[in-house]
C-alpha cells in the first residue's frame, strides 16, 4: 500500500496541562469550591488554581521530582488535590492516587510497587501515614496538605513538609513542558478483591480523550452552565475523569472533602446550587435518607451519574419521582479510565411510554465514542445483540489498558480485547446490560442466575434498604441463591414475605432458597458490597431447601 497523504494540521500533543491552562484562560473566573478537612469552605477560581498548580510544579522540581517519577496522594476531593492533579502530571511526573480505604498493608504495598518518591496527604490521613511510613521504602518526602498552623509537632514522619510552605516559597513562573502525549499521566490501582491490587497506568492522551468523550451530551453532558459536585472520590479512578472534564468545560466545581454524610452533602448541594453530581449507589442512600427524613427537596440538583455497581431501579425512581433528579446510569472500570457506557435515550425513544423509557434507562447503556464492546460465549464466539443472549463482555479503545503496570498478571488481552470480567447482554440498539460479575454469578444446575436482578427486586420492597445475593453450595444444584438483606431502620419484613414478593417477577428456579437479615453489608474501599466476604461469612449456611431437594 502506498503511504497515505499526510494532513497538514498542527501536531500538538494532548497533555493534561492544556486543560487547566485552557480553563484558566477561557473560564478564569469560574469557581472551585471546597469543603476543607479543616471544616471551613474554601473558594477560588480556575485562574488561581492554575497559578498554585504552577507553584507546586516548581516546588516538585526543587524536591527532585523528574519526568516519569511517581508522586502519590492520599487525599479527599479538595482544591489542593486538584492542584496536585495538574502540577504532578503537567510537569511530566506521574500522579498516583491511593485509596485510603484500603488496608494499611495494601497502601504500603502499593506505594512500594509504584516506587512513589513523594507522598502528598490530607490531615485526616496523618495517623495512617505515620503507621505506614516505616514500610514505604521509596518515599523520600512527605507533604502534609494543610495550613502551617496544622503541622504536627514532633512527628516521626521523615522529611515532613508543609504544602502551603512549598506553595509560598515557589513562584508561579512556570511553563508546562511539552512532551509525548503517550507519556504516563496517572496511576490507579484496582481494589484487588482477589490478590494484590494491579496498576492501571493512564497516558496524557488517554486522559484527555476520555475527558472530551465523557463530557459529550450523550454521555455525562457537562457544560459551563453546570455546577458539578463529584461525590466519587478523586482516589477512585480519578473521580471518573471529572477533575479533567469539568475544567475542560469551564463548569463550576464543588469538592466535598471528607464530609460525605447525608446532611453535609445536602447542605453543600444547596449552598452551592449544584446541578450535576456523580457517585456509587451506596452514597446516595445516605443523602436520600437524610432528605426524606427531613422532608427536604433539592432546589437546583437535576442530574446525577450513578455507576461503580448497578443502580437499583428503586433508587432511580425515588430520585426522579421524589426529587426530580434524573439518573444517568453508567458503567466502567479502573482499567477503562473508567467510562465505557452511559444510558441516555435516543430520539426514537422519546415517544415511548414512560414505563418503557425507564426500563431502558435501567440498563448500563450504549458505548461512549472511543469504546467498542462485544459479548462472547465461553469459547470466545461472538454472541448476537438481541438483548437476550448473555456472555462475557469484552472492550477495546484508546483509554482502555493494554497491560497492567510492570506487566503484573501477564498479558490481560484476548485478541486485542480487554475482558472486563462482567457478564452482559447487548440489545439491537447497542444498549448493554450487566447481569453480573462473572465471579458473582450463581451457577445452579449448569445455568447462570444473575444476582443484580434478584437484588434490584429485593430493594424495591419498601422495607428493604440494601440487599446482596450470593451463591451458597448445594449438593444437587452446585449453588443456590441466598439473599442477605439490610432492612430499613424501624421496619421489619419476614423471609416469607420477601420470597412471596418475587412471585411473577422472575423464573421460579431463580427464587432465592433463603433470606438472612443483617445490620450492614461489608463494603469495600470504593463503596461496593464485598461479595467475597459475604460468601466467606455464609459458606456454612444451611439452606432450608436442602431437605426437600
Residues numbered 423-482 forming contacts with ligand ADP, rule: CB under 6 A: 434, 437
Which of the residues 137, 297, 388, 443 is marked catalytic? 443
- In this structure, the number of other CB atoms found within 10 A of the CB of residue 46 comes to 27
Residue position matching grid coordinates 480505604 = 101
We find the least distance from the C-beta atom of residue 179 to ligand ADP, in angstroms, to be 28
CB of 432 closer than 8 Å to CB of 373: yes
- Cα gap 108→102, rounded to integer Å: 10
Question: Using CA atoms, how far apart are residues 386 and 424, in angstroms rounded to an integer?
Answer: 11
Catalytic one among 73, 111, 186, 190?
A: 190
User: What track of x and - describes contact with ligand ADP for positions 321 through 350 (by CB under 6 A)?
Assistant: --------xxx-xx---x------------
Give how many residues touch ligand ADP by CB under 6 A: 21
* Short-list 373, 398, 521, 519, CA closest to 451: 521
Contact 20, 247 (CB under 8 A): yes
Q: Facing residues of 374 across strands?
A: 394
Q: Rank residues 296 and 413 by Cβ distance to ligand ADP and give the closer one.
A: 413
- Give the contact letters, 210-239, x = binds to ligand ADP (CB under 6 A), - = no: ---------------------------x--
451 is catalytic: no
Catalytic residue status for 448: yes
- Measured from the CB atom, the residue of 97 and 526 that comes closer to ligand ADP is 526
CB of 289 to ligand ADP, least distance (A): 21
* 408: its cell numbers: 503484573
Tell me the closest approach of the beta carbon of residue 127 to ligand ADP, in angstroms: 25
Q: Kindly tell me which residue out of 307, 397, 471, 512 binds ligand ADP, with binding defined by CB under 6 A.
A: 307
Can you name the residues that pair with 141 across neighbouring β-strands?
Answer: 118
- Minimum distance, C-beta of residue 193 to ligand ADP, in the bound complex (Å): 6
Pairing of strands 94-97, 184-189: parallel
- Residue 132 or 434 having the CB closest to ligand ADP: 434
Closest approach, Cβ 7 to ligand ADP, in A, equals 36
Pick 92 or 233: Cβ nearer ligand ADP:
233
Task: Using the minimum distance from each CB to ligand ADP, give the nearer residue, 51 or 364.
Answer: 364
**Ordered DSSP codes for 291-337:** HHHTT---SS--EEEE-SSPPPHHHHHHHHHHH--EEEEEEE-GGGS
Cβ burial of 454 (10 Å; 0-12, 13-18, 19+) is buried
Q: Which is nearer to ligand ADP, 389 or 523 (CB)?
A: 523
Residue 477 annotated as catalytic: no
Q: Where are the beta strands (DSSP E) in 36-172?
A: 41-45, 70-74, 94-97, 116-121, 141-144, 160-162
* Min separation Cβ 322 and ligand ADP, Å: 21
Choice from 77, 190, 337, 451 touching ligand ADP (CB under 6 A): 190
Tell me the CA distances in angstroms from 527 to 137, 169, 245, 530, one per residue in order: 29, 39, 23, 9
Sketch the per residue contact string, 104 through 143, with ligand ADP: x for CB under 6 A, - otherwise. ----------------------------------------
Going by C-alpha positions, the residue among 123, 59, 116, 119 that lies closest to residue 91 is 59
Which is the catalytic residue, given 38, 448, 518, 533?
Answer: 448
Contacts 24+ apart (CB under 8 A), 447-455: 447/509, 448/390, 448/423, 449/481, 449/509, 449/510, 450/390, 450/423, 451/481, 451/531, 452/310, 453/506, 453/510, 454/481, 454/483, 454/502, 454/506, 454/510, 454/512, 455/310, 455/312, 455/483
* Residue 331 Cβ vs ligand ADP, minimum distance, rounded to whole Å: 4
CB nearer to ligand ADP: give 434 or 454: 434
Measured from the CB of residue 188, what is the shortest distance to ligand ADP in angstroms? 9
| Binding window for ligand ADP (CB under 6 A); candidates: 19-27, 227-235, 245-253, 305-313 | 305-313
Nearest approach, Cβ of residue 191 and ligand ADP (Å): 4
Q: Which is nearer to ligand ADP, 424 or 482 (CB)?
A: 424
DSSP 413: -
- Burial grade of 504 (CB within 10 A; 0-12, 13-18, 19 or more): exposed
Choose the catalytic residue: 83, 164, 272, 335.
Answer: 335
**Among 28, 387, 419, 421, which residue sits at the site for ligand ADP (rule: CB under 6 A)?**
421
φ/ψ of residue 310, rounded to 5: -60, 135
Phi and psi (nearest 5°) for 439? -80, -10
- Of the candidates 310, 316, 368, 424, which one interacts with ligand ADP according to CB under 6 A? 310
Q: Which is closer to ligand ADP, CB of 96 or CB of 528?
A: 528
Which CB atom, from 275 or from 433, has the smaller least distance to ligand ADP?
Answer: 433
Region of 50-58, 170-178, 405-413, 416-424 interacting with ligand ADP (CB under 6 A): 416-424
Angle between helix axes 46-62 and 79-90 (nearest 10 degrees) is 60
Q: How far is the CB of 434 from ligand ADP (least distance, A)?
A: 4
d(CA 200, CA 152): 34
Q: Tell me which residues in 508-527 interact with ligand ADP (CB under 6 A).
A: 526
- Can residue 420 be called a binding residue for ligand ADP (CB under 6 A)? yes
- Using the rule CB under 6 A, give the single segment among 84-92, 293-301, 303-311, 489-497 that binds ligand ADP: 303-311
* Catalytic annotation present for 509: no
Could you say which of 34, 249, 364, 425 contacts ligand ADP (CB under 6 A)?
Answer: 364
Q: How far is 499 from 510, CA to CA, in rounded Å?
A: 11
CB-neighbour burial class of residue 348 (10 A; exposed 0-12, middle 13-18, buried 19+): exposed
Active site residue ranges:
190, 335, 443, 448
* Interface ranges with ligand ADP (CB under 6 A): 190-191, 237, 307-310, 329-331, 333-334, 338, 364, 420-422, 434, 437, 526, 528
Amino acid at each position: 500500500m502506498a503511504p497515505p497523504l499526510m494532513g497538514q494540521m498542527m501536531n500538538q500533543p494532548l497533555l493534561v496541562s492544556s486543560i487547566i491552562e485552557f480553563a484558566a484562560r477561557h473560564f478564569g473566573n469560574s469557581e472551585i469550591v471546597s469543603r476543607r478537612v479543616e471544616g471551613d469552605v474554601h473558594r477560588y477560581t480556575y485562574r488561581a488554581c492554575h497559578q498554585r498548580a504552577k507553584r507546586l510544579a516548581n516546588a516538585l522540581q526543587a524536591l527532585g521530582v523528574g519526568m516519569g517519577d511517581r508522586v502519590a496522594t492520599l487525599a479527599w476531593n479538595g482544591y489542593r488535590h486538584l492542584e496536585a492533579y495538574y502540577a504532578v502530571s503537567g510537569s511530566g511526573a506521574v500522579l498516583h492516587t491511593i485509596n485510603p480505604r484500603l488496608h494499611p498493608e495494601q497502601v504500603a504495598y502499593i506505594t512500594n510497587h509504584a516506587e512513589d518518591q513523594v507522598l502528598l496527604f490530607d490531615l485526616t490521613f496523618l495517623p495512617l501515614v505515620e503507621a505506614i511510613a516505616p514500610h514505604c521504602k521509596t518515599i523520600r518526602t512527605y507533604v502534609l496538605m494543610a495550613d502551617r498552623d496544622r503541622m504536627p509537632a514532633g512527628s516521626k514522619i521523615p522529611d515532613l513538609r508543609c504544602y502551603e510552605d512549598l506553595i509560598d516559597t515557589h513562584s508561579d513562573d512556570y511553563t508546562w513542558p511539552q512532551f509525548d502525549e503517550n507519556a504516563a499521566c496517572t496511576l490507579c490501582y484496582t481494589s484487588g478483591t482477589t490478590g494484590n491490587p494491579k496498576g492501571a497506568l493512564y497516558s496524557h492522551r488517554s486522559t484527555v480523550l476520555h475527558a472530551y468523550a465523557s463530557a459529550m451530551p450523550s454521555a455525562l453532558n457537562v457544560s459551563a452552565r453546570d455546577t458539578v459536585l463529584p461525590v466519587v472520590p478523586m482516589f477512585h479512578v480519578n473521580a471518573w475523569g471529572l477533575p479533567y472534564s469539568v475544567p475542560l468545560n469551564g463548569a463550576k466545581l464543588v469538592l466535598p472533602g471528607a464530609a460525605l454524610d447525608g446532611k453535609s452533602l445536602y447542605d453543600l448541594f444547596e449552598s452551592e446550587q449544584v446541578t450535576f453530581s456523580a457517585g456509587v449507589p451506596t452514597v446516595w442512600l445516605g443523602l436520600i435518607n437524610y432528605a426524606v427524613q427531613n422532608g427536604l427537596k433539592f432546589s437546583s440538583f437535576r442530574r446525577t451519574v450513578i455507576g461503580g455497581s448497578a443502580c437499583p431501579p428503586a433508587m432511580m425512581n425515588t430520585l426522579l419521582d421524589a426529587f426530580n433528579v434524573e439518573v444517568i446510569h453508567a458503567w466502567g472500570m479502573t482499567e477503562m479510565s473508567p467510562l465505557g457506557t452511559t444510558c441516555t435515550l435516543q430520539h426514537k425513544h422519546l415517544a415511548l411510554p414512560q414505563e418503557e423509557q425507564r426500563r431502558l434507562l435501567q440498563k448500563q447503556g450504549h458505548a461512549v465514542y472511543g469504546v467498542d464492546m462485544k459479548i462472547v460465549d465461553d469459547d470466545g464466539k461472538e454472541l448476537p445483540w438481541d438483548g437476550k443472549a448473555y456472555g462475557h463482555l469484552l472492550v477495546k479503545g484508546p483509554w482502555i489498558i493494554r497491560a497492567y503496570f510492570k506487566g503484573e498478571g501477564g498479558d490481560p488481552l484476548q485478541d486485542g480485547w480487554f475482558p472486563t470480567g462482567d457478564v452482559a447482554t447487548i440489545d439491537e440498539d447497542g444498549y448493554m446490560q450487566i447481569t453480573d460479575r462473572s465471579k458473582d454469578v450463581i451457577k445452579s444446575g449448569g445455568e447462570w442466575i444473575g444476582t443484580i436482578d434478584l437484588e434490584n427486586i429485593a430493594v424495591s420492597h419498601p422495607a428493604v434498604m440494601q440487599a446482596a445475593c450470593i451463591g451458597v453450595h448445594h449438593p444437587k444444584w452446585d449453588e443456590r441463591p441466598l439473599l442477605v438483606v439490610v432492612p430499613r431502620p424501624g421496619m421489619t419484613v419476614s423471609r416469607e414475605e420477601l420470597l412471596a414478593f418475587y412471585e411473577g417477577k422472575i423464573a421460579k428456579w431463580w427464587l432465592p432458597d433463603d433470606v438472612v437479615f443483617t445490620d450492614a453489608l461489608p463494603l469495600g474501599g470504593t463503596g461496593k458490597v464485598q461479595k467475597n466476604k459475604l460468601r466467606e461469612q455464609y459458606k456454612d449456611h444451611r439452606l432450608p431447601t436442602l431437605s426437600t431437594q
